[in-house]
Amino acid sequence: MVSSRFIRQSLLMLCLSMIVAGVFVQAVASVEYEPKVGQEGKDVIWVPTCQELVDKMLDMAKVTPQDYVIDLGSGDGRLVITAAKRGARALGIEYNPDMVALSNRNAAKEGVVDKAQFIKADIFESDFSQATVITMFLMPEINLELRPQILNLKPGTRIVSNSFGMEEWAADETATVEGNDCGTYSTAYLWVVPAKVEGIWKLPQGELTLKQTFQTFSGTLESGARIMPITNGKLNGDLISFSIGNTNYIGRVSGSTMQGTVESGGSTTKWTATQVHKAFRAPSEKQNILGLLLRAKVTTQQIGQVKAASNTSLHLIGTIYARFQLVIFDS
């Protein structure tokens, strides 16, 4: 009898323990992760982009259902979710796994899980080459570190940043929103990745020599004994325009060829150019190197040595810092 009573009591206590444990687990699970403004992240603290600026950024990038939007450091997922609501495929790259989980829950609540995806990853180790639109809210030095990779994206890729620029790479468009929720961070910058045209191009009229600085370029046309300067050289993605004297060229760049129409004296004809010598690297990309070195904690003395060596136009300076596999090319 005593043994039977003991067994029944033990079973009762076990059941009660399981019920209590289940209730406790359920209570813990029901407490969802809530990020705090200003909390530390891997590279930046977390400050959410206000919804008014989210909308403005996507407006500036002219996001459509045909776009693939990638948000670098996607936080709680609001920008990715908003892009998905516009019909675009969107991916958020976020290092904090709790933020990734929160973003997935938010996407489910908004009914866009078929369009919005979130992954836990380091933006510096991620491939975002398939994006048509890149959005970010990072710091200036991080923007600079990402800049060479961004400049290698397909021409025409739109880049939109909350509040922070790309130093001497001037934005193609700037906009500010008025909203109580935006506070200090209320400005958006848009860049369109330009085609790379630096080098020598062959025209029927002669030889074009182009020197490029991001979305602008200058140079000369050598035609026989005449050398004429190029003016108003501009790039908008793969669209190109420039003038030589009173002759105006517009066209499109496609790899090592470009073609379009030329207007002179009231008449319009077609033109085509073929690249016969490509610059080893775009000069505008080299200017990111010092920012990378600073972030990699290379010493001031080492940076001075790099500057001195670069100024001598050495063909190649070897790997500077193993972590970044950093190489400096012709100055």
Complete domains list, the chain, with CATH = 51-192 (3.40.50.150), 199-278 (2.40.128.30), 288-331 (no CATH)
3-state DSSP call for residue 220? strand
Tell me what pLDDT residue 181 has.
78
Is there a contact between 242 and 230 (Cβ–Cβ < 8 Å)?
A: yes
Q: Beta-strand (E) ranges in the chain?
A: 68-72, 89-94, 116-120, 133-136, 158-162, 173-176, 187-192, 199-203, 206-213, 216-223, 226-236, 239-244, 247-254, 257-264, 267-278
pLDDT at site 324: 40
Compute the Cα dihedral for 212, 215, 217, 221 and give only its sign. positive
Question: In this predicted structure, what is the pLDDT of residue 322?
Answer: 35
Yes or no: say if 326 and 289 are a contact pair by the CB < 8 Å rule.
Answer: yes
Neighbours of 204 (CB within 10 A): 8
Amino acid at residue number 109: K
Q: What is the pLDDT of residue 44?
A: 86
Residues with Cβ within 8 Å of residue 186, at least 6 apart in sequence: 50, 52, 53, 163, 176, 177, 178, 179
- Structure tokens of 18? 């399981």
Residue in this structure with the two tokens 């973003």, named with its chain if needed: 103
Q: What is the pLDDT along the chain (331 residues), one digit of tens a residue?
A: 445 565 555 655 655 555 544 544 444 444 678 888 878 888 888 899 999 999 999 999 999 999 999 999 999 999 999 999 999 999 999 999 999 999 999 999 999 999 999 999 999 999 999 999 999 999 999 999 999 999 999 999 999 999 999 999 999 999 999 877 788 899 999 999 999 999 999 999 899 999 999 999 999 999 999 999 999 999 999 999 999 999 999 999 999 999 999 999 889 999 999 999 887 554 445 445 555 555 555 554 555 555 455 444 433 343 343 334 333 333 3
CA dist., res. 145 & res. 295, Å (int): 8
Q: What is the pTM of this model?
A: 0.77
pLDDT at 327: 35
